[in-house]
Amino acid sequence: MNNTKKIKSALISVFHKDGLAPIVQKLDEQGVTIYSTGGTQKFINDLGVNVIPVEEVTDYPSILGGRVKTLHPKVFGGILNRQDNDSDIAEMDQYAIPQLDLVIVDLYPFEKTVASGAPEQDIIEKIDIGGISLIRAAAKNFKDTLCVSSMEDYEEVLNMLKEGNGEISLEDRRRFAAKSFNISSNYDTAIFNYFNSDHGIASLKISEMQGQVLRYGENPHQKGYFFGDFDAMFDKLHGKELSYNNLLDVDAAVNLMAEFKGEAPTFAILKHNNACGIAQRESVKQAYIDALAGDPVSAFGGILISNTSIDEATAEEIHKLFCEVVIAPSYSEAALEILKGKKNRILLIQKEVELPGTLTRTCLNGALVQDRDIITDSAENLSHATNNKPSESELEDLLFASKICKHTKSNTIVLAKGKQLCASGTGQTSRVDALRQAIEKANSFDFDLNGAVMASDAFFPFPDCVEIADKAGITSVIQPGGSIKDQLSIDYCNQHNMAMVFTGTRHFKH
C-alpha cells in the first residue's frame, strides 16, 4: 500500500520567515498552489512566486486588526477533509473548498514577549489564535496533511521535498504531527503559567522543548534524559558528555556557590551533591588548596567550582587531581591549556542566569512543588541566645558554615574554622550521629577544632549536640532555634562559655 502523498497545495502563514524562501521556491518549482495571508503573502510575492490570498478563497477580509484571518470553514475544511471519505469529497465539491496538503504555520512569540518584560497588552496580543488552530487541525489530519510548525524544521522539509519530488510518506507526516503537538502543548503551557503565575490554580504544567538522551540514568541499567536549555547556563569548553550524576552534582555546585556570589575568592569541591571541601581566601589558588585539604580523599572524581576566574597557578594545582567537572565564570588562556590536558575533564563557563523560583520533584504517583529556599542567614537576622557573644571572626565563620549547611543533605552538621570547611556530617538519621561523623572526619584530616564553629540545619531538641561540640573544642554555634527545649542547650552553653545564635530559619534539604 502506497502511503505517500503528493503535495499539490500549501497554506503558508508564518511570523518567522528566516529560511522560508528556499521552501517556497521549491514548492513553486514543483507546481504547488500556494495560499497565504498578510506579511507572508507579501514575502512570497516579493520572491516572484505566484500566491493566492486566503481572502479570495473565503470571500472574507482579514478583520479586527488581523486578529481574524484564517478562521473560516473553507480554510479548515481544506485541511481537515478526509480524502478517502466520499461524503467529505462531495462536500468539498459542493462548497468549492480547496484541498490543502501542506500547512506551514508558526506561532506568535508569546514566551519571548513575556521574557522581554513587555506590558500585558502586548503579551495578550501575542496569544496566537488562528495559528494554533491551524496547527492542531493539520496535525490531527496527518493522514492527508503535512504540518510544519517551526522554522527549526525548514531545512528538513526542504530536503524531503527535494528527495521525494514533493511526495511525503505517512511516517513523516505522523512524525511532523507529533512535533506540531509538541509546539502547541508547550505554547498553551506557557500561556497558562503566565496567567497562573501566583499559583492560584493548584495545577502543575511543565514543558521543556529542549532535551537530550544521556548515556544512562543514575545507574547503568536506568535510562536517563535531561530536559532544559543547558547551553543557556553554561559554555562547555572541553571534555566528555555530562552524565546524569554529573548534572545533579553541577546543580548542587551552582546552588552552593550562588551563596558566595560577589565575595572574596571561594572554591568548593562536591561529591554526591554535598560539599566535601570549601574555603574562602584572598587568592583563588589558596582557596582551592584549602578546599582540597577539607577532604582530599572524597575530592577524587569530584565536581569543582569557583566564584571567580581560574588562573594558571590554580589550574596547575587542579591538574594534579582527577576530577570530573570544573566550573568557573572564566579561565585564563594558560589555565585552559593546562586543564585541557585531561581529555575527559569537563570544563564549563557558568553564565549569569536566574535559577527557577520553584523546585519540582516526583513523589508517589505525582509531584511535589515548593519555592526555592532563597533565605541566606545574615548577621542582621541573628538573635543572640547566650550570655557569651561570638567574636567578629567567629560570626564570619558561623555565617560561612550556615551557607554550607543550607546546601548539605539533612540531617547535617557543618564544622568550620577560618572560612574553611573542616568537616560535615551529611544525610544522617540522627543529628548526634551527624555531629559525631563530622568530628571524627575533621580529626582524621588533622583539623584543630579548638575555636571552630558548628552549624546545624535544624534545632537541637536536647543539649547533647552542644555538649559533644564543646568537648571537641567548638566555641560557637548557629542553629534555627524553635525547640520547646531550646533552654536546655542555652543553659549548657552559658555554663561552658559557648556562644550560640539563632537564625529563626530552618534549612532542611532532602
494: cis peptide before it, omega within 30°?
Answer: no
Closest CA to 13 of 110, 79, 96, 107: 107
Distance CA 455, CA 440 (A): 16
DSSP line for 173-211: HHHHHHHHHHHHHHHHHHHHHHHTTT--S-------S-E
Q: How far is CA 114 from the centre of its chain?
A: 18
Model confidence at 73, pLDDT cuts 50, 70, 90, reads: confident
**What residues are annotated to the active site?**
140, 272
**In the prediction, which pLDDT does 78 show?**
92
pLDDT value, residue 58: 83
User: pLDDT tens digit string along 162-212?
Assistant: 999 999 999 999 999 999 999 999 999 999 999 998 889 999 999 999 999
Selection from 230, 295, 256 nearest residue 404 by Cα: 256
pLDDT in tens, 255-267: 999 999 999 999 9
Helices (H), 47-106: 54-58, 73-80, 86-94
- The Cα-based distances of 495 to 65, 159, 392, 476 in angstroms read 79, 81, 22, 13
356-412 pLDDT, tens digit each? 889 999 999 999 999 999 999 999 999 999 999 999 999 999 999 999 999 999 999
Name the one residue in this structure whose C-alpha cell is 477580509: 61
pLDDT value of residue 2: 63
Question: CA–CA separation, 32 vs 176, rounded Å?
Answer: 20
The number of residues in the chain equals 510
User: How far is Cα 478 from Cα 498, in angstroms, rounded to an integer?
Assistant: 11
Helix-helix angle 73-80:86-94, to 10 degrees? 150
Q: Using an 8 Å Cβ cutoff, are 208 and 230 in contact?
A: no
Supply the pTM of this predicted model. Answer: 0.88
Report pLDDT digits (tens) over 205-257: 999 999 999 999 999 999 999 999 999 999 999 999 999 999 999 999 999 99
Say what the alpha-carbon torsion angle 114, 120, 124, 127 is, to the nearest 10 degrees. 0
Do strands 266-271 and 302-306 pair parallel, antiparallel, or not at all (unpaired)? antiparallel
On whether the CB atoms of residues 97 and 91 are closer than 8 A, the answer is yes
Q: Phi and psi of 165, rounded to 5°? A: 50, 45
Contact present, 292 and 277 (Cβ < 8 Å): yes
| Predicted pLDDT of residue 88 | 87
Rounded distance, CA 310 to CA 293, Å? 18
Q: Which residues, including other chains, have CB under 8 Å from residue 434's CB and lie 6 or more apart?
A: 411, 412, 413, 424, 425, 426, 428
- Per-residue model confidence as pLDDT tens digits over 30-61: 999 999 988 999 999 999 999 999 988 887 77
Kindly write down the DSSP assignment for every residue of 170-181, as one continuous string: HHHHHHHHHHHH
Is 176 buried (19+), middle (13-18) or exposed (0-12) by CB count in 10 A?
Answer: buried
DSSP state of 496: T
Strand partners, 19: none
- Cβ–Cβ under 8 Å, residues 348 and 235: yes
Across the beta sheet with 234-238, what order do the strands follow? 234-238, 346-350, 323-328, 302-306, 266-271, 274-280
Q: How many CB atoms lie within 10 A of CB 451?
A: 15
User: To 10 degrees, what angle do helices 21-29 and 154-163 make?
Assistant: 20
CB atoms within 10 A of CB 319: 17
The answer to whether 409 touches 510, Cβ cutoff 8 Å, is yes
The per-residue pLDDT for range 404-443, each reduced to its tens digit, is 999 999 999 999 999 999 999 999 999 999 999 999 999 9
Alpha-carbon distances, residue 112 vs 41, 96, 191 (angstroms): 24, 39, 12
**CB atoms near residue 438 (< 10 Å):** 27
**Is 150 in contact with 106 (CB distance < 8 Å)?**
yes
On the question of pLDDT at 1 being above 60, the answer is no
- Give the pLDDT of residue 304: 98
404: left (phi over 0), alpha (psi -120 to 50) or beta: alpha
